[in-house]
């Protein structure tokens, strides 16, 4: 099923046909978490989006080297190179070693992503594990004349770089605009210009995380680690660089400048950015209380929602929006996704017990399959794919209710394809059944049998039997709803 994959490239601002640098190989780098606290749902959305991309590229036959870093040093509280290192601050507040902070929240991050059924990356390098590479990269940038050292700290000279290579191409900001919007330096800063950013910071006496360098005992700038690690594991030019939309400026812009200053070419062919997750129409923020951790959602132990939602329901909810669109997390939206998810799971479980017919099927299987691939090839359009999966669900329910037929060959093909998209590409899993679920399942199967008999009675114009089943069920608070696909029930 040959069809070109189109990817929205943030660098060009349009969809482009995807072509890897090396045939059948893809190098993909995604900015990972800064491990100073529990991973939040907004970050999870980004990593789930790239898990979908990783899965689909693999399905298309690419050998993907997926690199996602762990930031365990160098990320200051303020992106303007001020304040404390986030991890060192957490360690000071809790009177523990910085690496205890790193270990605790790295484990939390990995556990959370496992609950979301996200595949681990091929390589997960850490900033502290690549101090040598970062120091060597700073030396190269200085040798090219694009960085300067002041009082033991080293800064990237944005204005000097911009004279040779345009700065701001990813975010669409030109240097004049940046200069106009910058505040004047306060005289305490070592920078030549406000736009410059730190490559190496000299550590103050009280700073815990520090390493020796040719300039001082200090620590690397936040932007530096991604350039050092991406080029180490993927080469000086690679296929995909991804992250959250909030990283486009300044982080990714600085990465491009660092790489271009040394290697004189664009480091990445396709820049992909996942959009924000909001909560009840507002930005998530710990300071306002409009915030929820994944485990608080899974357990129901939070003050925002009235019930828990499983990791698979939350993953499905996120997949129902395109990765480039803002998606708002609300109880009503999650409840709607929960119903949709269980409707999909229910249809998958019916597949093994459907009666097959000798006759040809009424379902255009080849066209449906093509539609599913067309959706994913259109910039990984998961919501359109899911809409096509529900087209198949309607047909499965109609066959189950005796309103349509399917032959054995088509059933086998439909079963294989819908499970491929559900499990392997969307990364969804069917819920494990508990004893209580098993009892409910037996009740549901009994009701489905009764409803199936009633539907057949209606088709045969045996309205006496049809009405008898409906009326007896209504007496025990089970409501029947007749639809074009067949009948459904609701336990009141």
Question: Residue 88: inside a domain, yes or no?
Answer: yes
Q: Are residues 111 and 54 located together in one domain of the fold?
A: yes
Q: Are residues 259 and 303 located together in one domain of the fold?
A: no
Q: Are residues 482 and 343 located together in one domain of the fold?
A: no
pLDDT higher at 463 or 215: 215
Q: Are residues 52 and 110 located together in one domain of the fold?
A: yes
Cα-only R_g, the chain: 27
Residues counted in the chain:
492
* Domain final position from 248, 274, 300: 274
Q: In this predicted structure, what is the pLDDT of residue 284? A: 86
Question: Residue 453: inside a domain, yes or no?
Answer: yes
Q: In this predicted structure, what is the pLDDT of residue 23? A: 97
**Of 152, 257, 140, the residue nearest 197 (C-alpha):** 257
Q: What are the pLDDT digits (tens) for 20-40?
A: 999 999 999 999 999 999 999
Q: Are residues 231 and 246 located together in one domain of the fold?
A: yes
Burial 46-62 (b: 16+ CB within 10 A, else e): bbbbbbbbbbbbbebeb
Q: Are residues 74 and 133 located together in one domain of the fold?
A: yes
Name every residue whose Cβ is closer than 8 Å to that of residue 280 and which is 6 or more positions away in sequence.
290, 304, 328, 329, 330
Q: In this predicted structure, what is the pLDDT of residue 434? A: 46
Question: Residue 175: inside a domain, yes or no?
Answer: yes
The mean pLDDT of 172-187, rounded to a whole number, is 76
Q: Please state the three-class secondary structure of the chain as a single string.
A: CCCCCEEEECCCCEEEECCCCECCEEEEEECCCECCCCCCHHHHHHHHHHHHHHHHHHHCCCEEEEEECEECCCCEEECCCEEEEHHHHHHHHHCCCHHHHHHHHHHHHHHHHHHCCCCCCCECCECHHHHHHHHHHHHHHHHCCCEEEECCEEEECHHHHHHHCCCCCCCCCCHHHHHHHCCCCCCCCCCCCCCCEEEEEECCCCCCCCECCCCCCEEECHHHHHHHHHHHHHCCCEEEEEEEHHHHHHHHHHHHHHHHHHHCCCCEEEEEEECCEEECCEECECCCCECCCHHHHHHCCCCCCCCCCCHHHHHHHHHCCCCCCCEEECHHHHHHHHHHHHHHHHHHHHHHHCCCECCCCCCCHHHHHHHHHHHHHECCCHHHHHHHHHHHHHHHHHHHCCCCCCEHHHHHHHHHHHHHHHHHHCCCCCCCCCHHHHHHHHHHHHHHHHHHHHHHHHHCCCHHHHHHHHHHHHHCCEEEEEECCEEEEEEC
Look up the CATH number of the domain holding residue 403: 1.20.120.640
Are 11 and 169 in contact by the 8 Å Cβ rule? The answer is yes
- Structural domain harbouring 470: 435-491
**Of 115, 113, 60, the residue nearest 420 (C-alpha):** 60
* Domain final position from 425, 457, 483: 425
Q: Are residues 374 and 447 located together in one domain of the fold?
A: no
The number of domains in the chain is 3
* Domain final position from 401, 425, 449: 425
Q: Is the pLDDT of residue 484 over 80?
A: no
Q: Are residues 312 and 441 located together in one domain of the fold?
A: no
Q: Are residues 20 and 137 located together in one domain of the fold?
A: yes
Q: In this predicted structure, what is the pLDDT of residue 436? A: 47
Q: In this predicted structure, what is the pLDDT of residue 260? A: 98
The mean pLDDT of 233-258, rounded to a whole number, is 97
Q: In this predicted structure, what is the pLDDT of residue 143? A: 98
Question: Residue 332: inside a domain, yes or no?
Answer: yes
Burial label, 314 (beta-carbon count in 10 A; 0-12, 13-18, 19+) = buried
Look up the CATH number of the domain holding residue 235: 3.40.50.620
Q: In this predicted structure, what is the pLDDT of residue 187? A: 55
Q: Are residues 356 and 458 located together in one domain of the fold?
A: no
Q: Is the pLDDT of residue 437 over 60?
A: no
Cross-strand pairs, 490: 479
Q: In this predicted structure, what is the pLDDT of residue 361? A: 78
% of the chain surpassing 90 pLDDT: 74
Q: Are residues 88 and 147 located together in one domain of the fold?
A: yes
Q: In this predicted structure, what is the pLDDT of residue 435? A: 45
Question: Residue 1: inside a domain, yes or no?
Answer: no
% of the chain surpassing 70 pLDDT: 94
Question: Residue 165: inside a domain, yes or no?
Answer: yes
Q: Give me the chain's average pLDDT, please.
A: 92
Using CA atoms, how far residue 206 sits from 128, 209, 278, 290, in Å, is 19, 9, 37, 34
Cα–Cα distance measured from residue 202 to residue 188, given in angstroms and rounded to the nearest whole number: 14
Question: Residue 462: inside a domain, yes or no?
Answer: yes
> Can you say whether residue 473 is alpha, beta or left, with left for phi > 0 and alpha for psi between -120 and 50 degrees?
alpha
The mean pLDDT of 281-305, rounded to a whole number, is 89
Q: Are residues 324 and 343 located together in one domain of the fold?
A: yes
Q: Which of 149-158, 221-230, 287-296, 325-334 has the lowest mean pLDDT?
A: 287-296
Cα–Cα distance measured from residue 104 to residue 361, given in angstroms and rounded to the nearest whole number: 54
For the whole prediction, is pTM greater than 0.95? Answer: no
Using CA atoms, how far residue 291 sits from 56, 90, 255, in Å, is 31, 19, 30
Q: Is the pLDDT of residue 185 over 70?
A: no
Question: Residue 430: inside a domain, yes or no?
Answer: no
Q: What are the pLDDT digits (tens) for 82-140?
A: 778 889 889 888 998 999 999 999 999 999 999 999 999 999 999 999 999 999 999 99
Are 27 and 18 in contact by the 8 Å Cβ rule? The answer is no
Name every residue whose Cβ is closer than 8 Å to that of residue 252 and which is 6 or more positions away in sequence.
31, 170, 171, 241, 243, 271
């Amino acid at each position: 099923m040959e069809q070109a994959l189109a990817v929205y490239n943030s660098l060009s601002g349009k969809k482009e046909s995807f072509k890897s640098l090396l045939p059948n190989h893809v190098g993909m780098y995604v900015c990972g978490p800064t491990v100073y606290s529990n991973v939040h749902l907004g970050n999870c959305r980004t990593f789930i989006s790239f898990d979908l991309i990783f899965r689909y590229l693999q399905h298309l036959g690419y050998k993907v080297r997926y690199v996602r870093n762990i930031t365990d040093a160098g990320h200051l509280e303020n992106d303007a190179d001020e304040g404390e290192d986030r991890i060192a601050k957490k360690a000071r507040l809790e009177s523990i070693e910085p690496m205890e902070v790193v270990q605790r929240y790295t484990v939390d991050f990995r556990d959370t992503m496992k609950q979301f059924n996200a595949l681990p990356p091929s390589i997960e390098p850490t900033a502290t594990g690549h101090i040598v590479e970062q120091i060597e990269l700073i030396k190269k940038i200085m040798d090219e004349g694009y960085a300067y050292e002041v009082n033991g700290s080293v800064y990237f000279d944005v204005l000097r770089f911009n004279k040779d290579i345009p700065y701001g191409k990813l975010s669409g900001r030109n240097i004049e605009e940046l200069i106009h919007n910058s505040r004047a330096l306060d005289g305490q800063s070592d920078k030549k210009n406000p736009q410059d950013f730190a490559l190496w910071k000299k550590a103050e006496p009280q700073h815990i995380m520090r390493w020796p360098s040719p300039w001082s005992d200090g620590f690397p700038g936040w932007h530096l680690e991604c350039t050092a690690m991406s080029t180490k594991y993927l080469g000086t030019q690679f296929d995909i660089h991804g992250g959250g939309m909030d990283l486009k400026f300044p982080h990714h812009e600085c990465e491009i400048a660092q790489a271009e200053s040394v290697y004189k070419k664009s480091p990445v062919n396709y820049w992909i950015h996942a959009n924000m997750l909001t909560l009840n129409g507002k930005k998530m923020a710990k300071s306002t209380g409009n915030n929820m951790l994944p485990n608080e959602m899974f357990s129901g132990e939070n003050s925002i929602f009235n019930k828990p939602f499983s990791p698979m329901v939350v993953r499905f909810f996120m997949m129902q929006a395109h990765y480039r669109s803002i998606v708002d997390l609300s109880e009503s939206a999650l409840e709607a996704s929960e119903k949709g998810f269980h409707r999909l799971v229910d249809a998958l479980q019916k597949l093994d017990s459907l009666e097959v017919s000798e006759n040809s099927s009424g379902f255009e299987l080849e066209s449906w399959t093509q539609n599913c691939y067309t959706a994913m090839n259109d910039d990984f359009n998961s919501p359109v794919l899911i809409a096509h999966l529900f087209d198949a669900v309607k047909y499965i329910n109609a066959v189950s209710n005796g309103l349509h037929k399917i032959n054995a060959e088509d059933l086998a093909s439909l079963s294989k394809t819908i499970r491929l998209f559900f499990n392997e590409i969307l990364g969804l899993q069917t819920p494990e059944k508990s004893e209580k679920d098993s009892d409910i399942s037996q009740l549901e199967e009994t009701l489905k049998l009764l409803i199936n008999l009633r539907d057949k009675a209606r088709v045969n114009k045996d309205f006496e039997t049809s009405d008898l089943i409906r009326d007896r069920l209504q007496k025990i608070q089970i409501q029947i709803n007749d639809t074009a696909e067949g009948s459904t029930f609701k336990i009141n």
